[in-house]
């Protein structure tokens, strides 16, 4: 089964790989761009990049309903336990660390952002995820500014990079284009835009810039659409 990445709007993704379903940054019920609600999604793992509501909103509810294991930085795992997620269904990490999971290898990469949880608790440091899957390496930058260490992340050899282009809260189109030049992925997919007016962007124009100025292919998805690796 080929690895399939489905954009559920904003920063939320469903990754289907090696017979597993991995939900990244579940924000569905209050996400105006989400094509499904939180009670309609099935998964056996959940990744959470940082503590903001538009990334953790439905994490506890989906984890409790599905029994999925949540993989996140230590502080977010602790907070989710306080929301009723069993400790044995959390997998705590910290920046720079990697772990082997049944669906592939997960590395928690740095992000330049903030990470306060919805109730004001500290979410620790924000992160992104470098996933080494059966069909290649996929990097989710998640919410971040541009940073030059993306060049180091790119040395893994990326089949896909998923980058925010919304601006205001994260990198905008110009910096995301610089990020593509540092990461050098085979394919780049934009995310974290058009959810609300402050992050409205012309993704098609950005994709043309990427393909004119880099060797990467740019794929623009609509929420609900998928990209299959290979
Ligand atoms: Ni954020
Ligand atoms: Mn966000």
Beta bridge pairs of residue 133: 136
CA of 166 to the centre of ligand 2 (A): 9
Which residues hold their Cβ within 5 A of ligand 2, which is an ion? 54, 143
Q: 4-34 burial by CB neighbour count: b if 16+ within 10 A, else e?
A: bbbbbbbbbbbbbbeebbbbbbbbbeebebb
pLDDT confidence of residue 50 = 98
pLDDT confidence of residue 167 = 98
pLDDT at position 189 over 90:
yes
Sign of CA dihedral 215, 186, 171, 205: positive
Q: Which fold has domain 4-221?
A: Metallo-beta-lactamase; Chain A (3.60.15)
The pLDDT > 90 percentage for the chain reads 99
CA of 177 to the centre of ligand 1 (A): 20
CA of 1 to the centre of ligand 1 (A): 32
Nearest ligand atom owner, CA of 10? 2
CA of 2 to the centre of ligand 2 (A): 28
What is the spatial order of strands in the sheet that 45-47 belongs to? 90-93, 69-73, 45-47, 20-24, 13-17, 4-7, 226-228
CA of 1 to the centre of ligand 2 (A): 30
Segment 27-64, tens digit of pLDDT: 999 999 999 999 999 999 999 999 999 999 999 999 99
pLDDT confidence of residue 1 = 76
- How large is the average pLDDT for residues 66-76? 98
Query: What is the helix, strand, coil percentage profile of the chain, to 5?
Result: 25, 30, 45
Segment 127-167, tens digit of pLDDT: 999 999 999 999 999 999 999 999 999 999 999 999 999 99
Instruction: Decide: pTM greater than 0.85.
Output: yes
pLDDT confidence of residue 216 = 98
Q: What is the mean pLDDT of the chain?
A: 98
């Amino acid at each position: 089964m080929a690895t399939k990445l489905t954009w559920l709007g904003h920063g939320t993704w469903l990754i289907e790989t090696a017979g597993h379903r991995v939900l990244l940054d579940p924000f569905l019920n209050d996400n105006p761009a989400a094509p499904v609600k939180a009670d309609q999604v099935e998964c056996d793992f959940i990744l959470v990049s940082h503590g903001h509501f538009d990334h953790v909103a439905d994490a506890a509810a989906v984890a409790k309903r599905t029994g999925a294991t949540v993989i996140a930085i230590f502080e977010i795992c602790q907070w989710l336990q306080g929301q009723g997620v069993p400790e044995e269904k959390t997998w705590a990490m910290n920046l720079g660390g990697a772990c082997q999971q049944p669906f592939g290898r997960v590395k928690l990469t740095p992000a330049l952002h903030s990470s306060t949880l919805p109730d004001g608790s500290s979410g620790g440091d924000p992160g992104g995820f470098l996933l080494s899957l059966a069909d290649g390496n996929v990097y989710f930058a998640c919410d971040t500014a541009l940073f030059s260490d993306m060049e180091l992340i790119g040395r893994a050899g990326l089949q896909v990079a998923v980058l925010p282009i919304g601006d205001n809260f994260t990198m905008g189109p110009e910096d995301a284009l610089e990020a593509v030049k540092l990461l050098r992925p085979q394919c780049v997919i934009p995310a974290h835009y058009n959810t609300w007016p402050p992050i409205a962007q012309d993704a098609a124009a950005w994709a043309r810039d990427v393909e004119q100025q880099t060797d990467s292919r740019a794929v623009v998805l609509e929420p609900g659409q998928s990209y299959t690796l290979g």
